[in-house]
Structure 1
Amino acid sequence: MTSVPPDPSYEPLGGARDLTHRDADWSGLQVAVVGLGVSGFAAADALLERGAGVRVLSEGTSPAMAERAQVLQMLGAEVVHGAALPPAPEPGTQLVVTSPGVPPTNTFLQGAAAAGIPVWGEVELAWRMRPREGAAPWLTVTGTNGKTTCVTMLESILRAAGLRATAAGNVGLPILEAVLHPEPYDVLAVELSTFQLHWSRSISAHASCCLNVAPDHLDWHGSYEEYRRMKGRVYEHTQVACVYNVQDPQTEQLVLDADVVEGARAIGFTLGVPARSMVGVVEDVLADRAFVAERATSAAELCQLSDLAPDPSADPPPHLVADALAAAALARSVDVPAAAVRDGLRAFTPQPHRTQPVGEVGGVRFVDDSKATNPPAAAASLAAYPHVVWIAGGQLKGAAVDDLVRANADRLRGVVLLGVDRAVIADALSRHAPQVPVEVLDSTDTGVMSEAVQAARAMAHPGDVVLLAPAAASKDMWSGYDVRGDDFAAAVRALGEGR
């Protein structure tokens, strides 16, 4: 790690250097806001409230967007939606605030950069909208998989410690709304995607974490190296603790490459026994050797593994333990006591469609991990169970599945494949697990999920798990991974009722 002095005015993008807190003079600033989603609306609203001139541009149209456009127009914004973005901002534009889904290759954003106009994401804007004094510290989390689980675990721990805290950012609540809430928070647990990190420069988190890195969103970033570099941006200017994954050496290297505030420490989390300055697992105990005074010779007990089990009949999956360790390390960086870590993790309820038990039929358990939308996420899910009938398939987006199949061939009782890229997974299975029965369903109707569940049940033995962990996105057949998971759960209920 390279130490840098804290600099609240850090602004490598050009102009707007003095806009470092909510009470700065935002009035008269001419801003183009790209996007009419939740984050774009929040950005435009906050800027209008501070007297900026706002022009909102959005190619998308929907009833929700039309309603937001009407509200912003009433507040004084100019809104253009349902039309292609122009090649560059209008003359006089001093700042562009973009929604996270717009890639840097977008012509409008490139036109802004060519004109020397700063481009911020809504997270960068939120950082600059904090109060000048007494701002809540940010605990930031990124990673290819596990971000939402980790940040909501962190929220639960912080609240168990009696802190007014919330999870915000990529997790759902726009970070601007959290920052500008009329009842200030004590601390914010902030989930950040690479889309958001790409447009962020001056954030200086109290503590930060990258859970893991594996190829994803390469179409947006252009290359794996660029995607990985954006993940590493979470550590830039961290003040106290850079939390990394001992099992993923890439994350430690990202810490080493980062410019941090002098005195910030590297804190590892591991599924093994923790070394000094790490949190980890000792037998069935989550233990802290990072935030205790005598860490050279002792550790603090944080909780028992059994405190994490979403399914009382099974041990918690390894990826859930890893997320809990990362959340614990971040919480401990703000002096949360060990007992609050335990209480928060006990109280934590996993988000839907993340290794969520949805039923048992004839001694076979059914688990919904529809959120496993890429091969690394599916690998983590499969690793939690010794004998699995795997339901997989969807949009692989170019991702390879050979390593996934090879590593899990011995635990597969059978496989049911569906979705647009089902043949890619079938080919990998024929190469690396030819002994495993495979049923390929060619229907592209969402009703095929019922057929998939019935086929999987026929392959399973009592004690097995039928696991929906698609390793692929859902938009080829469903409107989202949540709808895919809901259909799976409904099919399991129907099976149990004999329908």
Structure 2
Amino acid sequence: MRHVLSREDFDGARIAVVGMGLSGRASFAALTEHTNATLSQWDSKGDDVGARLLTPEALLDWGPNLVVIAPGIPAVSDVYEALNAYKIPVWSEVELAWRMRSVDADGTAAPWLAVTGTNGKTTTVQMATAMAQAGGFTAQAVGNVGDPLITAVTSEEGPNLVVVELSSFQLHSTHTMSPLAAGCLNIADDHLDWHGSREAYWADKARVYNNTQVACLYPVDEPKVAAMVEEADVVEGARAIGLTKGVPGPGQIGLVEDLVAERAYGPERFHSANELFQVKDLEHLAHGDVPVHLLNDAMMAAGLVRAAGVTPEAIQRALSSFSLGGHRIETVAVQGGVTWINDSKATNAHAARASIRAQEDGSVVWIAGGVAKGARFDELVSDISHKLKGVVVIGEDQEPILEALRSGAQGVPVTVIPPGSAKVMTDAVAAARQLAGQNAVVMLAPACASWDQFASYADRGQQFAQAVLE
């Protein structure tokens, strides 16, 4: 039987839960069940979601001494500005979960494995969870994927290993989390409008490594991420573990021909390696050759669970039967020489680049566009132009992509679907079919968020698949 940690810390507090989406509702429910704090709910929709109407003035007038804030509230918002000015502590759901996590009778809590990055977080977390489960843990994927983190960790029957997907939004107001192992997969410009600057975005991603107990994993070919590890304030004894595409040295996980080997844990790392899995164990997940980003995700997942003691045998067993989550490089149909791929979860340039570059030169009809989130696409287009057979541009925020195509992909035919189209995905699929001809890969990899024309990236992917099948 477990009990919730340090509930007395909240007794007598006035806690405002700001943003009543999934995260806010779960936080409010946990505080209601496990504390005697005075609580209030706040949202920009006010009474529509059963909350007080959120304005900085009204929130401050209520007099909170702690605010638990949803990831949808931007760091550059007037709400954050007001709370910071009055020095009111602000916690993410992640911070609240860490402070309230359930402990066993001996006072021990389930360890956390923490994952962030611009691209690949969900796949990595799902892989790590499958590996841990194959190794005998009752592991659960939570955070920015799966169930709310606060719900999982305050349960009396919660998992004995927590694998947490963390966005930069969540990390922004996370302060004391101390994961067993942590990793940042990559870093590229994204969500700059939320954070206010590239530097602020990077700084929030770097918080994943703070207070790490055993292992900070990072790709050696990402110097910005390596710098995050070097500058992190970790628990004494925590080690840096590099992920490389070359032969691994001591303290690394890397490739020896077609197998992934680990020289990161245990005294034998100085003179021998453990085989974790083979590249062919990922072939069933790929359309064509195993893409580099998928290999990166698997290496990161394996490195994280090794910190928890999961065996190489369990890692390989999990990967050989693993399946990707929905809307991530899903083959919808193959007909008339055209392969239709749903990668709606590619919501930024980094993710779109990885998927498109895994295809053959001149084969891709790319469906792109949506909410750019302040990003530019010149570098992306430059990197993938040789892969393109045609482009279909959708979304309300088209100019950044069109400008990049004009300068970096001259000669590639482009069809623009007007932003006001009532059946945007049907029109996009029809246009892509015209551009595809007799031999092509049509790939929905928008490089943008979906909320301008769709309910979510999942809704966007579902509408794409339905239009293709029709």
Q: Would you say same fold, with TM above 0.5?
A: yes
User: Displacement of 1:286 after TM fit?
Assistant: 2.1
Q: What stretches of structure 1 move > 4 A for 4+ residues in a row?
A: 310-313
1:92-122 C-alpha deviation (Å, 9 max, x unpaired)? 5322221222223444444333333322111
User: Displacement of 1:438 after TM fit?
Assistant: 2.3
- Check whether the contact 1:456–1:466 (CA below 8 A) recurs between aligned residues: yes
How far apart in 1 are the matches of 2:75 and 2:310? 38
1:156-203 C-alpha deviation (Å, 9 max, x unpaired)? 111111101101111131111111112132110011111111111111
Is 2:46 aligned against 1:46? no
User: Displacement of 1:265 after TM fit?
Assistant: 0.7
Q: Please name the residue that 1:282 is paired with.
A: 256
Provide the aligned length of Structure 1 versus Structure 2. Answer: 461
How far apart in 2 are the matches of 1:446 and 1:288? 52
Which of residues 450, 461, 464 in structure 2 aligns to 1:485? 461
Tell which deviates more after alignment, 285-294 or 457-466.
Answer: 457-466
1:104-146 C-alpha deviation (Å, 9 max, x unpaired)? 3444444333333322111111111124611000100111111
> Normalization by structure 2: what TM-score?
0.92
Q: Please name the residue that 1:406 is paired with.
A: 382
- Check whether the contact 2:285–2:323 (CA below 8 A) recurs between aligned residues: no
* Residues 311 and 130 of structure 1, relative CA distance in 2, 3 Å threshold: closer
How far apart in 2 are the matches of 1:281 and 1:461? 38
Amino acid at match of 1:482: A
Is 2:93 aligned against 1:122? yes
Query: Among the aligned pairs, what percent are the same residue?
Result: 46
Alignment of 1:208-247 (within 5 A): 208-247=182-221
Secondary structure at 1:275's aligned position in 2? coil
Alignment of 1:293-372 (within 5 A): 293-311=267-285, 314-372=288-346
Secondary structure at 2:366's aligned position in 1? strand
Q: Please name the residue that 2:41 is paired with.
A: 56
Tell which deviates more after alignment, 200-209 or 387-396.
Answer: 387-396
How far apart in 2 are the matches of 1:401 and 1:409? 12
Q: Please name the residue that 1:69 is paired with.
A: none
Secondary structure at 1:294's aligned position in 2? helix
How far apart in 2 are the matches of 1:405 and 1:46? 45
How far apart in 2 are the matches of 1:104 and 1:421? 22
How far apart in 1 are the matches of 2:230 and 2:317? 33
How far apart in 1 are the matches of 2:412 and 2:77? 45
User: Displacement of 1:61 after TM fit?
Assistant: 5.1
- Check whether the contact 2:389–2:412 (CA below 8 A) recurs between aligned residues: yes
1:310-336 C-alpha deviation (Å, 9 max, x unpaired)? 456622222111111111100011110
User: Displacement of 1:301 after TM fit?
Assistant: 1.7
* Residues 169 and 282 of structure 1, relative CA distance in 2, 3 Å threshold: same
Between structures 1 and 2, the one with greater helix share: 2
Tell which deviates more after alignment, 316-325 or 271-280.
Answer: 271-280
How far apart in 2 are the matches of 1:251 and 1:331? 20
Tell which deviates more after alignment, 427-436 or 186-195.
Answer: 427-436
Amino acid at match of 1:45: A
How far apart in 2 are the matches of 1:205 and 1:129? 15
- Check whether the contact 1:58–1:85 (CA below 8 A) recurs between aligned residues: no
How far apart in 2 are the matches of 1:448 and 1:271? 40
Q: Please name the residue that 1:432 is paired with.
A: 408
How far apart in 2 are the matches of 1:87 and 1:61? 12
User: Displacement of 1:89 after TM fit?
Assistant: 2.7
* Residues 484 and 131 of structure 1, relative CA distance in 2, 3 Å threshold: closer
Q: Please name the residue that 2:162 is paired with.
A: 188
- Check whether the contact 1:89–1:108 (CA below 8 A) recurs between aligned residues: no
* Residues 91 and 364 of structure 1, relative CA distance in 2, 3 Å threshold: closer
Amino acid at match of 2:39: V
Amino acid at match of 1:409: S
1:461-485 C-alpha deviation (Å, 9 max, x unpaired)? 6553211111122222222221111
Q: Please name the residue that 1:454 is paired with.
A: 430
How far apart in 2 are the matches of 1:232 and 1:328? 21
How far apart in 2 are the matches of 1:252 and 1:245? 7
User: Displacement of 1:91 after TM fit?
Assistant: 6.2
Secondary structure at 2:126's aligned position in 1? helix
How far apart in 2 are the matches of 1:312 and 1:125? 38
- Check whether the contact 1:87–1:111 (CA below 8 A) recurs between aligned residues: no
Structure 2: 5+ residue stretches without partners: none
- Check whether the contact 1:271–1:318 (CA below 8 A) recurs between aligned residues: no
How far apart in 1 are the matches of 2:32 and 2:427? 52
- Check whether the contact 2:55–2:79 (CA below 8 A) recurs between aligned residues: no
Tell which deviates more after alignment, 181-190 or 26-35.
Answer: 26-35
- Check whether the contact 2:193–2:374 (CA below 8 A) recurs between aligned residues: no
How far apart in 2 are the matches of 1:488 and 1:302? 37
Secondary structure at 1:215's aligned position in 2? coil
Structure 1: 5+ residue stretches without partners: 1-19, 67-79, 495-499
User: Displacement of 1:293 after TM fit?
Assistant: 3.7
How far apart in 1 are the matches of 2:440 and 2:268? 44
Which of residues 104, 121, 136 in structure 2 aligns to 1:147? 121
* Residues 384 and 459 of structure 1, relative CA distance in 2, 3 Å threshold: same
